[in-house]
Structure 1
Amino acid sequence: MKREMIIVLDFGGQYNQLIARRVRECNVYCEVHPYNIGLDKIKEMEPKGIIFTGGPNSVYGEDSPRCSKEIFDLGIPVLGICYGSQLMSYLLGGTVKTAPVSEFGHTEVQVEPSAKLFQEVSPETVCWMSHTDYIETVPEGFRITGHTLVCPVAAMECEARNLYAVQFHPEVAHTKEGMKMLSNFVYNVCGCVGDWKMDSFVESSIKEIREKVGTGRVLCALSGGVDSSVAAVLLSKAVGKQLTCVFVDHGLLRKNEGDEVEAVFGPEGHYDLNFIRVNAQDRFYAKLAGVEEPEAKRKIIGEEFIRVFEEEAKKIGSVDFLVQGTIYPDVIESGLGKSAVIKSHHNVGGLPDCVDFKEIIEPLRLLFKDEVRRAGLELGIPEYLVYRQPFPGPGLGVRIIGEVTAEKVKIVQEADAIYREEIVKAGVDKSLGQYFAALTNMRSVGCMGDGRTYDYAIALRAVLTSDFMTAESAELPWEVLGKVTNRIVNEVKGINRVLYDCTGKPPATIEFE
């Protein structure tokens, strides 16, 4: 049976993936696609509803992204958000102009409780605004269902055609009743029943993998992180001994992590896997020598990963498929449709053009991080593995600003181990989405042991997040930061200063590079 689906059309908004994530929280499958995907493709997917994202453009600009007006004649419910609401109005005959007063941040919105979108929503509700244009007049057949003191059309609807629009962002946590609004659209407007469940995903994925692989042999890129571990166990359930897991220790792992991964997945570990460990530290350091640009480092690490796997595949004989733990945020941040390329993930944009495998299998490609964890629990993976701290594919290569050297790796490994140890001791680790130490390329003068030093600064990062699409900097207890700082400058050679990163995502990313 074909699962129900909502599609998000991306017009360049920074929250496109967050919209999809929120829809999935309603137990309805959701995908992000470029705005110019085409009507035939949309019809082929048979979505239950369509959501237009926000975007940085003005709808009346010559080069502004626009979809075909005929999309509103497909009989599929549409929800326009921010730019998407203005585009709906513009295409259907309403007027959009530069707002006399722009709105940014928390804004009180008066909504019409009788509107389908606002059922069980407070008549006065706080929403997140971010716009300089506004809808001056609505298209024929629409009625205004929300307004603010300075925005006459904060929401509108044409119930007869199942078209809805909001000027604010219901997908962000700052819109207090945003989930109610999205749930109303998904269930009350689109008529979804909510069939996106993790147990059914795992079951169907195992079946699909078996059919795809057949009698072929599979090589899995195992890093020991959450994503690749879940992918490995999923493949093991599907094809058993046809799978060989290759763990490449590129010398950019956290302290002692290589041995920890081998203890879990190796011959003495929890799983009946064909496990190979490749110690390739020197090889990666040589490739990265003199390279400072973040994208260049990511692509070098990604290509070298693939080359190592190809070599290992040749050693074990003919291998048909390569498995990777790519997840949905990797895909989107690497540039989906017209979205900006935030960074090339080693297992998406970092792949070389020529790969010596029949096909790459990415069983988690459609999942967000918390969904990957739920899939891991469904597969019976222990909680301590499922909830392990996230670690990027390029490893410490993107937590070392500038050139990567063996000396710098040692510095950040030691500082990070101290930081993580003290976070756990303080009992604050469970509330954090991610925390780690990074090595800056800033050197500063210090005074230690009555002598002058000129050493590096370590930056500490800790964020609160549930989906890793957005994040807030965590307010760690000062005594914890003080203890961590004291230990790092005293125990880690080459460090004389410790900084704490107070930036959220956006505008920053969670990782430093």
Structure 2
Amino acid sequence: MQEKIIILDFGSQYTQLIARRVRELNVYCEIHPFNNLPEFDNTVKGVILSGSPYSVRQDDAPQIDFKKLHESYPVLGVCYGAQYIAQKSGGEVKASSTREYGRANLEFIDHSHPLFKNINPGSQTWMSHADTIASIPENFEIIASTDSVKVAAFHIKNTKVYGIQFHPEVTHSTDGKQLLENFLVDICGCSQDWTPDAFIESTVASLKERLGHDKVILGLSGGVDSSVAAVLLHQAIGSNLHCIFVDNGLLRKGEFEQVLDSYQHMGLNVRGVRAGDRFLGQLAGLKDPELKRKAIGRVFIEVFDDAAHEVQDVKWLGQGTIYPDVIESISVKGPSATIKSHHNVGGLPDFMKLKVVEPLNTLFKDEVRRVGKTLGMDQALLGRHPFPGPGLAIRILDDITPEKVAILQEADAIYINNLKTSGWYDKVWQAGAIFLPVQSVGVMGDERTYEHVICLRAVSSVDGMTADWSHLPYELLAKISNEIINNVKGINRVVYDISSKPPATIEWE
């Protein structure tokens, strides 16, 4: 079975980065909320405790059974995780007298400990905490310090428990990856064998065992996730996989025909279903993004239920769910406020008697692409930008009408085509046009206009968990704006979104 590291999430903004760094070292890991612990079996090689926006001194600070953990597994506490270990072991955590944020250098390192193998004094780290460990118990030892943080790192004697008050997962910590590799390999004994080839081999074998000769219906979207999921399932069950591509009336211009054509040479059993009128009918008058998502999800399931009845004895619904979908759909604090529901997370209605199979729900987006490349899939398909399951419905920040969809499709096509011809398409993670629920005054010829506004969005990212806005050249933006205004009737203004995630999300709804 695949060995793994468990990351317990206390709510830090950096938790997903820890997972990314661990996986970059070819070690499989899983993130779990501190208050919803997984089953710890013999595949678990170690545990990482994340940072947190909480102080360990708060009454409602996150709590776990630390004693049970450290008696069984190597443990690395990061920031809050380190302070929690110290406090629970009898040490003292106080509000820091100096602000411990930003870059700091390790002036003292005890190289007798494997955690700091190949890391030299002067190594730059990234601090981000208001509290500090003021004193440690007798069975602790300090193994690294900065000029202002005496307990930058500690070790509990005669154990494999370590704590650090800096963040090795961020790029500002120059030897952070080395420290994590030291923990994973030298302390936890991980074999670093989690590769795309290994994932494919184990996943296909698991799918064969789980599905047997059962039939699976899979919704293809033309995107990377569902396409890679389809190829994996096809390798496992062959013709028992039945792929359905639904035209929900909210796709990009010409996408239905293009997607069907792209699958012709992949050996997949694909059927196209036109259901745009059905979706648009259910969306009429809806403005709230959650109501739109739920309506689309409901109709999507209904369409699939109809399609499933045309294939006898279907028992499974395949989905291209990936790890960020799963992470963003659970909350560290339990059932708290939803940022936005994901179209492919949350189960099926009772009337649809299908079990769900999600071959990619442990992978980040860049990992999905690497798996697709290893499977020999077309790079043009693997390089496609992510596109939301609800389609253009959540890029129209208003009620949905056929006229608005048509306007957005035309504007989006001009935008994406310009990105491709300019060479910028492959430089950005995701791009799309957004129809804003405002109108503005303009002048065309000698006439006053009062028409709609289109916003352009383009971001750079690695896995979609965080993203920065893409710095497209002014000349390119000007060309795109001119083409949209001159060619798309109903648009007289184009703006560009320069917000990053966080605090914004990639999609507006």
TM-score by length of 1: 0.93
Cross-structure match for 2:262 = 264
Deviation, structure 1 residue 103:
3.5
Aligned pair partner of 2:374 in 366, 369, 378:
378
Is the 8 Å Cα contact of residues 113 and 122 (structure 1) preserved in structure 2? Answer: no
Alpha-carbon distance change, 411 to 241 in structure 1, aligned in 2, over 3 angstroms: same
Aligned pair partner of 2:131 in 130, 133, 153:
133
Is the counterpart of residue 311 in structure 1 residue 306 in structure 2? yes
Cross-structure match for 2:98 = 101
SS of aligned partner of 1:209? helix
Cross-structure match for 1:3 = 2
Cross-structure match for 2:121 = 123
Is the 8 Å Cα contact of residues 439 and 453 (structure 2) preserved in structure 1? Answer: yes
How far apart, CA to CA, are the structure 1 residues paired with 2:475 and 2:120? 41
SS of aligned partner of 2:310? helix
Is the 8 Å Cα contact of residues 74 and 188 (structure 2) preserved in structure 1? Answer: yes
Aligned pair partner of 2:417 in 405, 416, 421:
421
Deviation, structure 1 residue 262:
1.0
Is the counterpart of residue 56 in structure 1 residue 49 in structure 2? no
SS of aligned partner of 1:321? strand
Cross-structure match for 1:434 = 430
User: Map of 1:211-250 to 2, 5 A cutoff?
Assistant: 211-250=209-248
Alpha-carbon distance change, 496 to 323 in structure 1, aligned in 2, over 3 angstroms: same
How far apart, CA to CA, are the structure 1 residues paired with 2:151 and 2:491? 55
Alpha-carbon distance change, 177 to 411 in structure 1, aligned in 2, over 3 angstroms: farther
One-letter code of the match for 2:420?
A: V
Count of residues paired in the alignment: 506
Cross-structure match for 1:294 = 289
One-letter code of the match for 1:323?
A: G
Deviation, structure 1 residue 345:
0.9
How far apart, CA to CA, are the structure 1 residues paired with 2:186 and 2:215? 46
Aligned pair partner of 2:478 in 479, 482, 504:
482
How far apart, CA to CA, are the structure 1 residues paired with 2:100 and 2:434? 36
SS of aligned partner of 1:48? strand
How far apart, CA to CA, are the structure 2 residues paired with 1:260 and 1:497? 29
Alpha-carbon distance change, 97 to 364 in structure 1, aligned in 2, over 3 angstroms: same
Is the 8 Å Cα contact of residues 157 and 163 (structure 1) preserved in structure 2? Answer: yes
Is the 8 Å Cα contact of residues 399 and 438 (structure 1) preserved in structure 2? Answer: yes
Instruction: Report % sequence identity.
Output: 49
Residue-by-residue CA offset, 1:399-426 (whole Å, 9 max, x unaligned): 2223222222222222221112222222
SS of aligned partner of 1:320? strand
How far apart, CA to CA, are the structure 1 residues paired with 2:207 and 2:444? 58
Cross-structure match for 2:318 = 323
Cross-structure match for 2:21 = 22
How far apart, CA to CA, are the structure 2 residues paired with 1:438 and 1:26? 38
One-letter code of the match for 1:92?
A: S
Deviation, structure 1 residue 38:
4.9
Cross-structure match for 2:109 = 112
Alpha-carbon distance change, 438 to 150 in structure 1, aligned in 2, over 3 angstroms: farther
Cross-structure match for 1:185 = 183
Is the 8 Å Cα contact of residues 326 and 348 (structure 1) preserved in structure 2? Answer: yes
How far apart, CA to CA, are the structure 1 residues paired with 2:13 and 2:258? 37
Is the 8 Å Cα contact of residues 113 and 123 (structure 1) preserved in structure 2? Answer: no
Say which is worse superposed, 49-58 or 455-464, in terms of deviation.
455-464
Deviation, structure 1 residue 148:
4.2
How far apart, CA to CA, are the structure 2 residues paired with 1:418 and 1:105? 42
Is the 8 Å Cα contact of residues 70 and 161 (structure 2) preserved in structure 1? Answer: no
Is the 8 Å Cα contact of residues 111 and 147 (structure 1) preserved in structure 2? Answer: yes
Cross-structure match for 1:70 = 67
One-letter code of the match for 1:438?
A: I
One-letter code of the match for 1:347?
A: N
Aligned pair partner of 2:406 in 393, 405, 410:
410
Deviation, structure 1 residue 443:
2.3
Cross-structure match for 2:269 = 274
How far apart, CA to CA, are the structure 1 residues paired with 2:175 and 2:444? 53
Alpha-carbon distance change, 381 to 162 in structure 1, aligned in 2, over 3 angstroms: same
How far apart, CA to CA, are the structure 2 residues paired with 1:280 and 1:76? 52
Unpaired segments ≥5 residues, structure 1: none
Is the 8 Å Cα contact of residues 319 and 357 (structure 1) preserved in structure 2? Answer: no
Deviation, structure 1 residue 125:
3.4
Residue-by-residue CA offset, 1:162-193 (whole Å, 9 max, x unaligned): 11222222222333332222112111221211
How far apart, CA to CA, are the structure 2 residues paired with 1:242 and 1:116? 50
Alpha-carbon distance change, 333 to 140 in structure 1, aligned in 2, over 3 angstroms: same
How far apart, CA to CA, are the structure 1 residues paired with 2:140 and 2:96? 20
SS of aligned partner of 2:291? helix
Unpaired segments ≥5 residues, structure 2: none
Deviation, structure 1 residue 28:
0.5
Say which is worse superposed, 25-34 or 177-186, in terms of deviation.
177-186
